[in-house]
Structure 1
Amino acid sequence: MSRDLARRTLVAYDVPDDKRRLRLAKCLETYGDRVQYSVFVIDCSPAKLARLSDDIEEIIRSEEDSVLLCDLGLVMSLSDKVFRYIGRSRDVTDDEAIVL
């Protein structure tokens, strides 16, 4: 895959069940960076994002849980202005690293 196709996705979730929430968080940690308690930033190819979506669907109960996937755009075109923190900030993996 060309790095030109890598996209940054913001993933936020609301899962009331502790066990499913923990499973989901562990899954997301394998794909990207936790930037808030229930918010992750993931840089990956479209194919990897499709696998992530499948993994999420296997974990959650769609009638009870909610997961938001927000496409922030191509990694190569992102600037420092995409994220703005007030208070303590969290590190996001350097844009040179990519999950394939």
Structure 2
Amino acid sequence: MTEHLYIVTYDIRDPKRWRRVFKLMNGYGEWLQLSVFQCRLSRRRQAEMVQLLDGILNHQHDHVIILDIGPADGVTPRVTSLGKAFEAVKREPVIV
């Protein structure tokens, strides 16, 4: 099962929907900063995440961007991080 590294960022207009998206994303990835997560996901988990996000969004007002960085084991993100140190998310067991 190949996992990819994703960066997910979002702009949600309504605070209630924003909280729902934030809680959902906590189950799929690691919070980097306000409205930005990094996720290490299989294709199946990524598709599941997209489907759940799609059900929360107001498509006229909200915006989610999902960047596929590439195979998680074969990519080393080049990141400039000022302040808090950046660490790429590591492979961990997923409890479903």
- TM-score normalized by structure 1? 0.85
CA displacement at 1:18 relative to structure 2: 0.2
Displacement after TM superposition at 1:90 (Å): 4.9
Q: Which letter maps to 1:82?
A: R
Q: Which residue of 7, 13, 17 corresponds with 2:14?
A: 17
- Aligned partner of 1:97 in structure 2 is 92
Runs of 5+ consecutive residues of structure 2 not aligned to the other structure: none
Q: Distance in 2 between matches of 1:19 and 1:41?
A: 22
Aligned ranges 1:66-77 → 2 under 5 Å: 66-77=63-74
Give the secondary structure class of the aligned counterpart of 2:73. Answer: helix
For 2:78 and 2:86, locate their aligned partners in 1 and report how far apart those are by CA, in whole Å: 14
Aligned residue among 54, 69, 78 for 1:57: 54
| TM-score normalised by structure 2 residue count | 0.89
Alignment CA distance shift 1:54-1:77 (3 Å): same
Name the amino acid aligned to 1:33. E
Give SS of 2:54's match: helix
RMSD: 1.7
Gaps of 5+ in 1: none
Q: Percent identity?
A: 24
CA 28–34 in structure 1, closer or farther in 2 if over 3 Å, else same: same
